[in-house]
């Protein structure tokens, strides 16, 4: 069983607004409302691959109830802690004419210490049955930046691999928990290294430095350029096919789902990287976020090339 952790889910509402203009009113059709959160996207893709993941985290208020109801409709198993605060709403304004997307993202509710303790109990319980934990996204207010480090430590104590996908301070501190794998994109790795840009060699060096801190693998996603997977004593590079891109949002989440799926099946590292890239790319080919078609994933796996280099 794979458990996905989403500490700050959201009700996402996307409006189509042609000629979006700041400071002006716009009449719009009803927005498209979805249960958002990186861990939920990961779960959706895992479900499409035939897994039965369990989603956990914090949900509260009417938005929280709505998300739980949606997850029920999607037949996604969930065990969320119900909190006093209201789960956030995030708004996106899509201007198809200009090809722009403007977003307003609420920070999220405050999660109290008691609610965090309740979550610790639930997650530790889930860990007694889980084969892998995937923790993704930002931290809700009130949750210390070191929370992913703590989750990493709980997982390590019971020998369960944890895959972490977050950014900024949460990533910095999360690395100290020695997760099995982290998945920064290039920008997130640059931020971590305090650099405006990094060459491929610099990315490999940065990833190796992170591995030196106890992380087994660093999967750096590079959008249409593919990805690299760096371990302590070697690195793999994936070249992916060119495809018709419809909506790449959520490709990172889909990639993590593909990686988790393949790791769990104990495929070789090369195969794991192929699965990860194929799921990311398959998502980019769909309109929905966290959506893949398994037969397209198979086709993309066949077209993905992995090169391997030993680097001491
Ligand atoms: P997000 O935050 O939207 O989830 P991300 O920045 O974490 O995304 P990306 O690097 O954009 O992650 O994408 C993850 C993977 O998805 C890439 O490594 C690649 O395999 C695939 N992918 C993303 N964008 C494209 C694209 N335009 N064409 C083909 N594949 C893509």
Distances (CA, A) of 217 to 21, 45, 55, 233, 273: 44, 21, 24, 10, 11
Distances (CA, A) of 12 to 16, 71, 89, 92: 13, 14, 6, 8
Q: Whose CA is nearest to atom 25 of ligand 1?
A: 224
Beta pairing partners, 14: 32, 92
pLDDT of residue 100: 84
Query: Could you tell me if residue 18 is inside a domain?
Result: no
pLDDT at 312: 46
* The total number of structural domains that make up the chain: 1
User: What CATH number is associated with residue 291?
Assistant: 3.40.1190.20
Distance 242 CA to ligand 1 centre (A): 12
With respect to residue 264, please indicate whether it lies within any of the assigned structural domains.
Answer: yes
Q: What pLDDT sits at residue 310? A: 59
Helix (H, G, I), strand (E, B) or coil at 183: coil
Distance (angstroms) between ligand 1 centre and the Cα of 117 equals: 34
Would you please indicate which residues are annotated as catalytic (active-site) residues?
A: 253
Is 265 contained in some domain? Answer: yes
> Which of 43, 223, 228, 229, when mutated, tests ligand 1's pocket best, judged by the most ligand atoms within 8 Å of its CB?
223
Residue 136 lies in a domain: yes
Q: Is residue 47 part of a domain?
A: yes
- Residue 98's pLDDT is 82
Cα 140 to Cα 201: distance, rounded to the nearest angstrom: 35
pLDDT one digit per residue (tens) for the chain, 312 residues:
999 999 999 999 999 998 888 899 999 999 999 999 999 999 999 999 999 999 999 999 999 999 999 999 999 999 999 999 999 999 999 888 888 888 999 999 999 999 999 999 999 999 999 999 999 999 988 999 999 999 999 999 999 999 999 999 999 999 999 999 999 999 999 999 999 999 999 999 999 999 999 999 999 999 999 999 999 988 999 999 999 998 888 999 999 999 999 999 999 999 999 999 999 999 999 988 899 999 999 999 999 999 987 554
Q: Can you point out the beta strands (E) in the chain? A: 2-6, 10-16, 32-36, 54-60, 77-83, 88-95, 100-105, 132-136, 162-165, 181-182, 217-221, 227-230, 234-239, 305-310
Tell me how far the alpha carbon of residue 222 lies from the centroid of ligand 1, in angstroms: 6
Q: Domain range for residue 245? A: 2-7+38-87+108-310
What ipTM was reported for this prediction?
0.98
Q: What was the pLDDT predicted at 101?
A: 83
With the most atoms of ligand 1 within 8 angstroms of its CB, the residue from 39, 136, 251, 304 to mutate is 251
- Does residue 222 have its Cβ closer than 6 Å to ligand 1? yes
22 in any annotated domain: no
């Amino acid at each position: 069983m794979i458990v996905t952790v989403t500490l700050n889910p959201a009700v996402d509402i996307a409006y189509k607004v042609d000629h979006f203009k700041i400071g002006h009113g716009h009449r719009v059709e009803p927005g498209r409302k979805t249960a958002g959160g990186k861990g939920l996207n990961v779960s959706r893709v895992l479900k499409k691959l035939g897994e039965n993941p369990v989603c956990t985290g914090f949900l509260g208020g009417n938005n929280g109830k709505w998300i739980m109801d949606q997850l029920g409709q999607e037949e996604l198993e969930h065990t969320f802690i119900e909190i006093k605060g209201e789960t956030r709403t995030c708004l996106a304004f899509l201007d198809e004419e200009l090809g722009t997307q403007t977003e307003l993202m609420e920070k999220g509710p405050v999660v109290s210490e008691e609610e965090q303790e309740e979550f610790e109990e639930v997650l530790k319980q889930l860990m007694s049955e889980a084969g892998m934990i995937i923790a993704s996204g930002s931290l809700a207010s009130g949750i210390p930046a070191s929370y992913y480090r703590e989750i990493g430590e709980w997982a390590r104590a019971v020998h369960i691999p944890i895959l972490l996908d977050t950014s900024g301070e949460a990533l910095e501190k999360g690395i100290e928990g020695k997760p099995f794998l982290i998945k920064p994109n290039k920008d997130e790795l640059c931020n971590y290294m305090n650099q405006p840009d990094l060459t491929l060699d610099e990315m490999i060096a940065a990833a190796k430095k992170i591995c030196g801190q106890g992380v087994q693998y660093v999967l750096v996603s590079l959008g249409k350029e593919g990805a690299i997977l760096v371990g302590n004593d070697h690195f793999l590079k994936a070249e992916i096919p060119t495809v018709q891109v419809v909506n790449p949002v959520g490709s990172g989440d889909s990639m993590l789902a593909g990686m988790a799926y393949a790791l769990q099946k104990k495929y070789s590292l090369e195969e794991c990287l192929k699965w990860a890239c194929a799921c990311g790319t398959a998502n980019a080919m769909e309109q929905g976020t966290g959506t893949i078609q398994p037969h397209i994933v198979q086709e993309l796996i066949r077209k993905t090339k992995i090169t391997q280099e030993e680097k001491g």
